[in-house]
Amino acid sequence: MTERRATRGEHQKARAQKNKKSDSKPSKKKWFKRITLTLVAIVAACFIGGAGLFAYYASTAPELDEKLLKDPVSSEFYDKNGDLFATIGAENRKFVKYEDIPQDMINAILATEDVRFFEHGGMDFYRLGGAILANFRDGFGAQGASTLTQQVVKNSFLQNEKKLKRKAQEAWLSFQLERKYTKEEIFEMYFNKMLMSGRVYGFGTAAQYFYGKELKDLTLDEEALLAGLVQRPNAYNPLKNPELAEKRRNTVLGLMYQHGKITKAQMEEAKKVNVQAGLADDATRQKFSGSKYDAFLDVVINELEKNGDGSAMAEGIKVYTTLDPKAQQIVENIMNDDSNFPTEKIQSGVTVVDTKTGQIQAIGGGRNYGVERGFNYAYDLQHQPGSTMKPLLDYGPAIENLKWSTGQTLVDEPMKYTGTKQTITNWDNKYMGTMTARKALYASRNVPAVKTLKEVGIDKAQEFVGRLGINAEKVYESDAIGGGDITMSPTQMAASYAAFGNNGVYTDPYAITKIVYRDGKTTKDYTPESNVAMSDYTAYMVTDMLRDVVGNKPDASGTAANVSGLDIAGKTGTTNYSSADFNKHNLPDTSVPDSWFAGYTSNYSIAIWSGYEKHFDPITTWDERRLPQHLFKQIMKEISANVETPRFKKPNSVVEATIEVGTKPLKLASNFTPSEKRRTELFVRGTEPNEVSNEYAMPELSSPYNVSASLDTEGQSINISWEHDAMLNPETDEPLPTTFEVSATKEGGETISLGKTESKGLTISNKQLEDGKYTISVVAVVDGTRSKPGTTAFQVTGTTDENKEPDTPDQPDVEEPTAPDQNGNNGDNGNHNGNGNGNNGNNGNNGNNGNNGNGNAGNGNNGNTGNNGTPPGNNGNNNGSKPPTTPTEPTVPDDGNGSTE
C-alpha cells in the first residue's frame, strides 16, 4: 500500500505554522525596542517641553535691579479701615561691608545655609538632588535647596511660594546674578537683606538689637544663634522662645563642626552657654521701634510665621489687618498710665476681640510695651486660667449636654478630689450649702464647679472646650477650677468667651484678613472659618449667669468690672500656689500668682491677665487681685462710648420659670414659698418643671375684722364695711388678689348670700333682708383658700311693709353723765349712747371696739379710755380727762353684741 502524499493546501498550512513558531522570539525583541524608543521619546519630549517651559518662565522673570538687591523691600500694614499704619523694611538698618564681617560669622552662615556657596554657579545641583528625593518621599516642598544666591533673588524680586514658575524664575535670575556680581557682593547682599526678627533686617542690625554689640565683638555662641535665625526669625527668637532658640543654635554649631569650621571643643563649649546670656536690655531694643502699635504688630508677625509667611515681609507684601486704631490707642493709653496700676512692677496683658467675628481689635502686650520687648503678655503668655475656666469646662458643657437649668441644685460642701486626700476649698475657706448653679458660678464656688464637671463627664467637657479653640490633651478634675494642665493666653480666652456672646458661634482669633504679594494681584486669605461650638440656649444661659458676676447680688465676684448702661457678662479668676510652694518660697498666706477677668458685650470680648514677670513674685493684696476688673472697666467703657451696644437677646429655645431653690428635681415655687427660696431661672424649652412644690403650706389667711353694718334710711340700703390684713406675695411683697364673700344669717333661719367683692365694703338694698336679727359674715378668699369669717350682729326693722307708719321707739332711760374718773379707768356707759352697741366699751383700759360698733353715733367715745384699744376705738379721747358731752337721742338698741369677733 503506497503512502498518501500531502496536498498543496496541507503543505501551505504546515509552512505557515512553522513560520509562526520561528517568529515568536524576534517579536519580543521588537516590543522591547518599541518600549525603549517610546520612553526615550517621552523623556525627550519632557526635556524639550520642560526646557521650553523653563525658557518661557525665564523670559517673564523681572529684570535684576541693583537697588532692590541691596536694600530691603518694605512691607506695608493696613488697619481695618484700610489705612496704612506701619511700614517695615528699610528702617534702622545697619549696612555692613563684606570685609567687615567676621570669618566665624561667615562660616556659621555658610555651614547652615549654603556650604558650597563659593563653588556653585547659583544653583547647588548636589543639594538639589537630595531635596528632590526628599520631596518625592515626603511631598512637594518638604525640603528646600535654596542657595544664598537664590534667597537673595527671592527676597528681592519674587514672592514666597513653592511653585514651578517661581522656582524657574529664581534659578534663571540666580544664574544672571552670579554672572553680574562677585560671590562676595552676593554674600554682602544676603548678609544685609535678610529678616532677622520682627522688623529687624540684616545681621549687623541683629547684633546690636539682640546683644547691643558690634559684629566683631560677638562670641561664637552668639554668632551661631544669629546664623540660625534666618530660617524662622520669630520662632527662634531667644527673647520669646529660648528653648527653640537654644536647639537651633546648637544645630548651627553642630553643622560648623561637621564642615570643619570649628573644633569639637569649641562646639561643646559654645553649647554650654545659656542662650539668653548677654541679651540686650529693653532700653537698647527700644531704639529699634519703627512703628506705632508694637504689641499688635507683634501678633501680626507671629501670625505670618504661623501661616508659613514668616520671611514674607522681606518681599514687600501688603498686610491687611483687623486693627481698630481707636481701640488700640485706648488700650495703650491705659496700659501706659502708671496710675492705673497698684504697684510699680505688676504686669498685665490685654486682648480685645470682636464678639461676632473673632477679629483681634487691640492688643495690650504689657505696660509701656516696646517693639519685641521679648514677651507679649496678651499673646505669648500661657498660664492657668483659674475660675475663668468654669463657664468653659463646667457649666457650659452641663447646659449643652445635660440641659441643666440655671437653677440646677448644687451643694457647696467639703469634698475631696477623686482618689485623693486633697480637700477642695473655696477662696474664703467656707462652704455655703445648697444653692443654684447660677449662684455657684457668680459667687465662684469651687466645690460645685468640680461636681458639675464630674456630672457632665470629662470627655464631653473636653470636647466642648475643643470647639472653643482650647486644645486640652488631658483634663483633670482640678481643671474644673482652672488649676490643672490647661493653660491659656488672654487672646485665646477673649475668643473663647466671645462665642457665648455670639449665640454659640466660635471663630479662632486672628489679626490678618489677607496679604497681597508684590505683584499686586496674588493674595492669600487669612480669615478663618467660624463654627457652631454650642447651642444658642447654652450660649445665652451661660451669658445670663455671667451677667450676675458683674451685677449687684451679694457674693458676686466681679462687681468692680461693671460698666453702667452696658449689658456685660464676665468672670473673674485667680490661681493658687501649692502648699509646697508656700513653704519653699516663704510666701504670705494671701499670695496668688495670677489674676484674670474675661468679659464681653455684644460688640467686644476682652480678656485681661495680671501678675508678675516671675511666677513666685506673688500678688498679695485685693488691689492687685482686682486690677484686671478695673482695667476691663476702663477699656470697655471707653471703646463702647458713642457705639450702639445691643443687649443679649434671649432665643426662643430658652424659657423662664420661678422655681423653689433646693428642690431636686427642680419644682415650681408655690404661692407660699418664701421669697428667699424663690428664683426665676432659665430652662431649655421643654425641660421646665410642671410640678409645684408643696414644701411650704399656705399660711393661715387672716379673718376680716371690724365688720360693721349700718342702715341708710334715706338711700334705703344697708352699708357693710370691714378691714382685712392682706396676704403678701412672697416674691414681690405685693398684696395677693383677695375676694370677700358677704352673707347674712337670720336668727333661727337660713343664710343669705349678699354678694362678692374685692373691696372692703358692700352696699345692699334693705329689701334683701326681712325684719329680724342677723349675723353679718365676711370671708376672705385667696387662691381658693378661705379665711374664718369676721362677723357683726345687725337688727333689721320696718322693711316688710312699706306703707306702715314707723313705730315710735320707747324712750330709754338716759343716765346723766357722771364726772369722769381721774385715771380714765371708768369707761362704763361710754358707748351706751349710739344704739347701745357699745356694750364692749366697759372698762376703758381695754377699749375693745368700744366706739360704737355700728358707727351710728359718735358720742360714746368719752367712755372709751382705749389704752389697748383696737381700731376704731379712738383711744378714749385723752383717757376721759375732758367732761362728757350731752348724749344724742338714742336709737333702738340691738341685742348688745356689737363687737367684732
Angle at 769 between CA 765 and CA 770, to 5 degrees: 135
pLDDT of residue 493: 98
**Partners of residue 424 on adjacent β-strands:** 415
Q: Which of 55-59, 217-221, 578-582, 591-595 has the lowest mean pLDDT?
A: 55-59
Catalytic site residue from 113, 372, 477, 624: 113
Which cell numbers hold the place of 592? 496668688
Q: What is the pLDDT of residues 815-859, one digit of tens each?
A: 444 444 444 443 333 333 333 343 333 333 333 333 333 333 333
Q: What is the pLDDT of residues 236-263, one digit of tens each?
A: 999 888 999 999 999 999 999 999 999 9
Is 744 or 712 the better-scoring residue by pLDDT?
744
Is 325 or 783 the better-scoring residue by pLDDT?
325
Alpha-carbon separation of residue 228 from 246, 374, 399 (angstroms):
10, 18, 50
Which cell numbers hold the place of 460? 464631653
| Residue 878 clears pLDDT 50, i.e. is over it | no
Helical (H) or strand (E) element with 299? helix 294-306
Q: Is the dihedral of CA 44, 47, 52, 53 positive or negative?
A: positive
pLDDT of residue 721: 96
Alpha-carbon separation of residue 848 from 513, 722, 788, 869, 900 (angstroms):
86, 16, 20, 5, 9
**Partners of residue 572 on adjacent β-strands:** 597
pLDDT of residue 758: 95
Is 532 or 848 the better-scoring residue by pLDDT?
532
Confidence of residue 178 (pLDDT cuts 50, 70, 90): confident
Query: In the predicted model, what is the mean pLDDT of residues 720-733?
Result: 86
Nearest to 678 by CA among 692, 543, 556: 692
| Residue 289 clears pLDDT 80, i.e. is over it | no
**Partners of residue 657 on adjacent β-strands:** 681
Looking at residue 668, what DSSP letter applies?
Answer: B
The chain-wide mean pLDDT, for the chain, equals: 82
Question: Is 812:829 a contact under the CB 8 Å cutoff?
Answer: no
**Partners of residue 864 on adjacent β-strands:** none
Is 327 or 871 the better-scoring residue by pLDDT?
327
pLDDT of residue 21: 52
| Residue 873 clears pLDDT 50, i.e. is over it | no
pLDDT of residue 15: 57
Query: In the predicted model, what is the mean pLDDT of residues 738-753?
Result: 92
| Residue 458 clears pLDDT 50, i.e. is over it | yes
Q: What is the pLDDT of residues 267-281, one digit of tens each?
A: 999 999 999 999 988
DSSP of 377-444, one letter per residue? TTTT--B--GGGGHIIIIIHHHHHHH---TT-EEEE--EE-TTS-PEE--TTS---EEEEHHHHHHTT
Question: Is 526:510 a contact under the CB 8 Å cutoff?
Answer: yes
Q: Which of 162-176, 192-206, 310-324, 592-606 has the lowest mean pLDDT?
A: 162-176
Which are the contacts of 646, defined by CB distance < 8 A and separation ≥ 6?
A: 567, 602
| Residue 376 clears pLDDT 80, i.e. is over it | yes
pLDDT above 90 as % of the chain: 57
pLDDT of residue 138: 42
Catalytic site residue from 311, 348, 387, 557: 387
Confidence of residue 730 (pLDDT cuts 50, 70, 90): confident
Is 846 or 705 the better-scoring residue by pLDDT?
705
pLDDT of residue 315: 74
Q: Which of 163-172, 356-365, 367-376, 438-447 has the lowest mean pLDDT?
A: 163-172
E strand segments, 207-332 = 318-321
Is 156 or 116 the better-scoring residue by pLDDT?
116
pLDDT of residue 698: 73
| 3-state SS string for 483-541 | CCCCCECHHHHHHHHHHHHCCCEECCCECEEEEECCCCCCEEECCCCCEECCCHHHHHH
pLDDT of residue 716: 85
pLDDT of residue 659: 96
Is 113 part of the annotated catalytic residue set? yes
Q: Is the pTM of this model over 0.75?
A: no
Q: What is the pLDDT of residues 320-350, one digit of tens each?
A: 999 999 999 999 999 999 999 999 999 999 9
Q: What is the pLDDT of residues 14-47, one digit of tens each?
A: 655 655 554 545 566 666 666 666 666 666 555 5
Q: What is the pLDDT of residues 668-683, one digit of tens each?
A: 998 888 888 999 999 9
